Chain A
Amino acid sequence: MTGIYKNLRKDFLVEFRNRSAVNISFAFAVITTMSISLVAGGTSFEPHIHAILIWMIIFFSGMNGLAHTFIREEDEKNALFLRLAYSPEDIFISKLLFNIIFFTGIISVICPLYLFFLQARPLIPQLFIATAFSGGLAIASITTILGAMVSKAGGKGSLFTVLSFPLILPVMWVSITNTALSIEGAESANYRNVLFLIAFSGIIACISYLLFRYIWVE
């Protein structure tokens, strides 16, 4: 636990002082939301259009920042220093927690901004919130392990986005569908998809935990 806490604290300190990933992700989120709002000019969108737009903003905001936690370790040549200090398991859990917290923060900014500027009103707000955070949890789980793989492969940006697409696709599909239902207030709306997203996150996190050592250690 001490190792996980110390790693998490270190990541937050470095990110807070560096602010590169945070700034890029939040700037992207805010600018994109504002741009859509300006272009829409008061036009009313269908619930599924709102859902697609929200998740596109969330997805690309996340892609900018979520792989950064591992890629930064390689870019700034800290990976060996980190590896010498802590076990692969502690490192993985701390990075996963960091990404979950970071992405939750991004979603907490994007959703209210979007709903306010585009005048969208979810008729089932609890389902909307639950979908937003469970979808974010799933994306954070996927991007943590893929970020580790991409960092070791020496790849950047586009490689990460390409690799993540097949895993993120079902998450996006379910999240967009459920978000549309929550905005629409459809009778068929339920929490089964939220459970799916949480279960998906759990499975990805468990498999990643088991495999991470083989990615991290030569």
Chain B
Amino acid sequence: MIKIGADSITKRFGEHLLFRNLAFSAESGESFYITGANGSGKSTLLQILAGIQRPYSGHVTWEKNNVTIIPDDYLKYSGFTGPQVNPYEMLTALENIEFVSGPDVDLHNVNELLERFGIYKERNRQVKFFSSGMKQRLRIINAIINDPPVIFLDEPGSNLDVEGKAILYSFIENLKPGKIIFIATNEPDEIKLCSRGIVLDDRYL
């Protein structure tokens, strides 16, 4: 059981205040959305929760079975994907997945996910030849291949066609039990996947 808490999180970039005094928590089995206007800080908040960025003030805590996890270890328990997370274009899809796979992942798991997300036939093709939708599918596979207990998805449905979104949403529904899923999005269908969430608006400025 993992619990993630955000306490009085404030983020500013120089003089520009992004948000102030955010406080919430989530635990295993919950899915949490982060939504708001463009530029409201959805991606930044997601990265703060994942330990990729530091807040200006406040703190994030992760606990596993009531034992605190240090920030340097957050990424060991999580998978993250977003528009800024780009696989290597000179590597094939399979090589990219193998690059991020841990020792517990075998080829069967990989092929299963490739099939599930509809890019199995392209697995030996260099990513530079992929469409934006195919790259997005690969990004999602990279985030979940190690079966992490916490998953951060930044605009997961972007660039996906109708079929791709259907596959993604169905996959997220199956992932929910036992995992914490954070989704930063403005898509109503993705917000509906979550049990609760936060809207970054003027209340946090």
Contacts and interface: CB of A to CB of B under 8 A. Distances in A.
Interface of A: 2, 6, 10, 13-14, 17-18, 76-78, 80-81, 83-85, 218
B110 to A, nearest CB: 15
Interface of B: 52-54, 75, 80, 82, 84-91, 95, 98-100, 103, 126, 142
B85 A80 contact: yes
Nearest to B92: A13
Contacts, number: 46
B90 A218 contact: no
B84 A14 contact: no
Given A17-B90, A18-B90, A218-B52, A81 B85 contact: yes
Contacts of B52: 80, 83-84, 218
Given A218-B52, A218-B53, A218-B54, A85 B90 contact: no
B54 A10 contact: no
Given A84-B75, A84-B80, A85-B100, A14 B91 contact: yes
**What are the 9 tightest A-B residue pairs by CB atom distance, in nearest-first order?**
A17-B90, A14-B90, A77-B86, A85-B100, A81-B85, A80-B84, A80-B85, A18-B90, A84-B80
Contacts of B89: 76
B91 A81 contact: no
Nearest to A10: B99
Nearest to B75: A84
Nearest to B86: A77
B86 A10 contact: no
A78 B86 contact: yes
